[in-house]
Amino acid sequence: MATAACQGFDVSAPDAGAPRHDAAARDDAGPQEPDAGADAGVCPTRYGAAVIEVAVGGTGNQATEAERAEGAPNCGEGGGGSQSLSLGGGHITLDIGCLYQPGAGADLRVWEASDIYPPCYGQEEMFTVEVSIDNASWSELGDGSGPTAFDAGDSFRYVRLSDPNAPDDSITPGADIDAVELLHAP
């Protein structure tokens, strides 16, 4: 998979040069009604609002605080990749706080800390992105590494990021998730 160079990456631009992926449906469970409290299209934030599930791996993992993946990209604060969540072969599920309506082009960007996303550092590591309207049935959007944009194709409220890398004993094993950004939100 090719990734775009991200020097001078504009976090406000919906198609800021990151690769795009089209949705490929995958059903893990039967359909459920979306949360009645989800206001369609009224997102409280442009970035992942709340972690609802996390499982990280790696015996030496020192970047396990789930809140590191919430909010705007900030891996440069506190020195390099220190503000990212290292999945270490695990996964994280975020509730974005609304029933997101996709727009033209890419709908969300995952900010995975790497050298191509200054002031972060580290190697690009693969992750898989899935979205769901009900946190039960999931559609896989594809794999990415580094900052990567995805086209969802359908409405969603939940975003799940999984790390296919085997956990190891490093201090930041596997994909290092800094943020999940909604590209058509206010």
- Domain count for the chain: 1
Residue from 15, 74, 45, 49 nearest 186 by CA:
45
48 vs 75, 144, 160, 164, CA distance in Å? 15, 17, 11, 21
In a domain, 31, yes or no: yes
Between 186 and 50, the higher pLDDT residue: 50
Nearest 5°: CA angle at 66, between 120 and 64?
70
Burial class from Cβ neighbours inside 10 Å (0-12, 13-18, 19+) for residue 12 reads exposed
Residue 6 lies in a domain: no
Element counts in the chain: helices (H) and strands (E): 0, 10
Residue 13 pLDDT: 39
How would you classify the pairing of strands 127-132 and 85-86? unpaired
Token pair 């390099």 is at which residue?
A: 80
Does residue 94 lie within any of the structural domains? yes
Domain span at residue 136 reads 24-182
Q: Tell me, what DSSP letter sits at residue 47?
A: B
Query: In the chain, pLDDT over 70 holds for what percent of residues?
Result: 69
In a domain, 32, yes or no: yes
Mean pLDDT, the chain, rounded, equals 76
For tokens 């919906």, the residue is 14
Residue 26 has pLDDT above 80, yes or no: no
User: In the predicted model, what is the mean pLDDT of residues 122-126?
Assistant: 84
Looking up residue 35, the CATH number of its domain turns out to be 2.60.120
The whole-model pTM stands at 0.75
With a CB cutoff of 8 Å and minimum separation 6, the contacts of 36 are none
pLDDT tens string 104-118: 999 999 999 877 666
What residues form DSSP beta bridges with 112?
A: 177
Whole-number pLDDT of residue 51: 93
Residue whose structure tokens are 């946190």: 135
Per-residue pLDDT tens over the stretch 9-20: 333 333 333 333
Measured distance CA(38)–CA(26) in Å, rounded: 23
